Amino acid sequence: MKIAVSADHGAFDLKESVKKHLEEKGIEYHDFGCFSKESVDYPRYAYYAASAVARKEYDFGIILCTTGLGVSMAANKVKGIRAAVCTNEMLARMTRSHNNANVICMGQNVVSKELANKLIDIFLSTEFEGGRHQRRIDLLTDIENGKELD
């Protein structure tokens, strides 16, 4: 499994902690930045990791900012990305099992480092259930492709 990781300056510390967690678990990742706490624009860093996931170069993305909100908005504008802001275990589980999310977003000012690690573990180990949920994912793709839903 290969993971694309990125953050803006507001989650630089959380990104470093997440990377350590992935290393401890032996999970391969690439860090798409940012690389210091100097102020940057979060859409860029969300785009770098999310577009690599959309190109299928990585299985999942972990994208972080102060709140998780801005990066999730940016990531969800990349075709093929289903990014979810997760703040508890249920959200991390259900966004995989029901939404087939391929990016988890979290906020450094919202989750502790320990909770972030826990949510990552759940997110990466939960399978998509398919079935009726696939029909709904297909509708998301239709919306993304500009189709009008009846």
Residues at the interface with ligand RB5 (CB under 6 A): 8, 10, 42, 65-67, 69-70
Instruction: Decide if 98 is catalytic.
Output: yes
In 3-state terms, what secondary structure has residue 148?
A: coil
Type and span of the H or E element at 83: strand 83-85
Q: Of the two residues 10 and 124, which places its CB atom closer to ligand RB5 in the complex?
A: 10
| Least Å from the CB of residue 86 to ligand RB5 | 15
Q: Of the two residues 73 and 94, which places its CB atom closer to ligand RB5 in the complex?
A: 73
| Least Å from the CB of residue 111 to ligand RB5 | 13
| Least Å from the CB of residue 118 to ligand RB5 | 21
- Which residue among 65, 86, 105, 133 is the active-site one? 65
Given the structure tokens 């979290």, which residue do they identify? 106
Q: Of the two residues 22 and 65, which places its CB atom closer to ligand RB5 in the complex?
A: 65
- Helix residue ranges per DSSP H, 3-148: 12-24, 42-54, 69-75, 89-97, 113-125, 132-144
Q: How far is CA 80 from CA 13, 31, 75, 122, in A?
A: 28, 20, 10, 22
Question: Which residue's C-beta sits nearest to ligand RB5?
Answer: 70
- CA triple 107-84-113, angle to 5 deg: 30
- Catalytic residue set: 65, 98
